[in-house]
Structure 1
Amino acid sequence: MRVLFTIYPNSLAHLYPVVPLAWALQSAGHEVRIATHVSSAELIVRTGLTPVGLGDPEQPPVRLTDDCSPPRSPEDVDRYARVLGLTPEQREHWIVFYQYLMQPVSDYVRLDRSEASDLVDFASTWKPDLIFWDPTHPAGAVAARVSGAAHARFLIGHDMFGWCLDRLAERRDDLRAAGLDENPLASLIRPLAEHYGLEVDRELLYGQWSVETMLDGLRLPTSTKKLSMRHVPYVDPQLFPEWLHESPENKRCECCGRLGRRRIAMSLGESTRRFINGDWDRTPRILQALEGLEDLEVVATLDQAQLHDVKKVPHNVRPIDWVPLPQLMPTCSALIHHGGIGTYSAAVAAKVPQLVCDLADESLLMRLVEDDPNVMKAGTYRLGWEFGVREEGEASAPTAHWELPAKKVEATPVSEFMLSKGSGARLDHRAQSIEEMRELIWHVATDPSYHANAAALYDDWMAMPGPGDVVPDLEKLTVQNRRR
Structure 2
Amino acid sequence: MPNMRVLFVPLPWPTHHFAMVGLAWACRLQGDEVRVAADAGVVEAVLSSGMVGVPVGRGFDFMADFGAASRGPLRWRGPGEAVTDLLRATPVTRYLRLAETVVDDLTDFATRWRPDVVVWDPAMFAGPLAAQRCGALSVRHTWGPDVTRLLRWPGMGAEDPADVPAWPADLAAFFRRHGAEPRDDLADLTLDTCPAALQVPGARNRVPLRYTPYNGPGLAPRWLLDEPTRPRVCVTWGTASTRALGSDAYPVPAILAALATEDVEVVVAAKESDAALVGDPPPNARVAGPLPLHTLLPSCRAIVHQGGSGTVMTAAYHGVPQLVGGTVGDQEFNAARLTAAGAGAALPVGGAEPDGIRAAVHRLLSDDAAHAADGLRAGILGHPSPAATAARLRDLAGH
Q: Could you say which TM-score interval applies, normalised by the shorter chain?
A: 0.7 to 0.9
* Contact residue 38 and residue 52 of structure 1 kept, 8 A: no
Alignment of structure 1 residues 400-479 onto 2, 5 Å: 407-429=327-349, 432-445=352-365, 447-479=366-398
C-alpha RMSD of the superposition: 3.5
Say whether residues 1:91 and 2:83 are aligned partners. yes
Inter-CA distance 343–52: structure 2 relative to 1 (3 Å threshold): same
Equivalent residue pairs, number: 391
Inter-CA distance 71–19: structure 2 relative to 1 (3 Å threshold): same
Inter-CA distance 288–74: structure 2 relative to 1 (3 Å threshold): closer
Note the alpha carbon deviations across 1:175-230, whole angstroms, 9 max, x for none.
9xxxxxx532x523523x33343332334xx3222111211122223353221112
Structure 2 match to 1:22: 24
* Contact residue 35 and residue 52 of structure 2 kept, 8 A: yes
TM norm structure 1: 0.71
Note the alpha carbon deviations across 1:242-282, whole angstroms, 9 max, x for none.
22121222xxxxxxxxxxx2221001111112233224373
Alignment of structure 1 residues 67-466 onto 2, 5 Å: 71=69, 88-91=80-83, 95=87, 97-100=88-91, 102-110=93-101, 115-163=102-150, 164=152, 165=154, 183-184=167-168, 187-191=170-174, 193-203=175-185, 206-222=186-202, 224-249=204-229, 261-280=230-249, 282-293=251-262, 295-303=263-271, 306=274, 313-358=281-326, 407-429=327-349, 432-445=352-365, 447-466=366-385
TM norm structure 2: 0.85
Inter-CA distance 354–327: structure 2 relative to 1 (3 Å threshold): same
Q: Which of residues 3, 6, 9 is equivalent to 2:9?
A: 6
Shift of 1:156: 1.1
Inter-CA distance 240–302: structure 2 relative to 1 (3 Å threshold): closer
| C-alpha separation in 2, matches of 1:73 and 1:452 | 37
| C-alpha separation in 1, matches of 2:62 and 2:350 | 31
* Contact residue 241 and residue 250 of structure 2 kept, 8 A: no
Amino acid in structure 2 at the alignment position of 1:332:
C
1:248 match: secondary structure:
coil
Shift of 1:72: 9.9
Q: Which has the larger radius of gyration?
A: 1
Structure 2 match to 1:35: 37
Amino acid in structure 1 at the alignment position of 2:36:
I
- Unaligned residue ranges in structure 1 (runs of 5+): 176-181, 250-260, 359-406
What is the percentage of aligned positions where both structures have the same residue? 27
2:247 match: secondary structure:
coil
1:457 match: secondary structure:
helix
Amino acid in structure 2 at the alignment position of 1:449:
D
| C-alpha separation in 2, matches of 1:101 and 1:140 | 15
Note the alpha carbon deviations across 1:391-444, whole angstroms, 9 max, x for none.
xxxxxxxxxxxxxxxx14333333233333333322333675312321331342
2:202 match: secondary structure:
coil
2:338 match: secondary structure:
helix
| C-alpha separation in 2, matches of 1:325 and 1:76 | 33
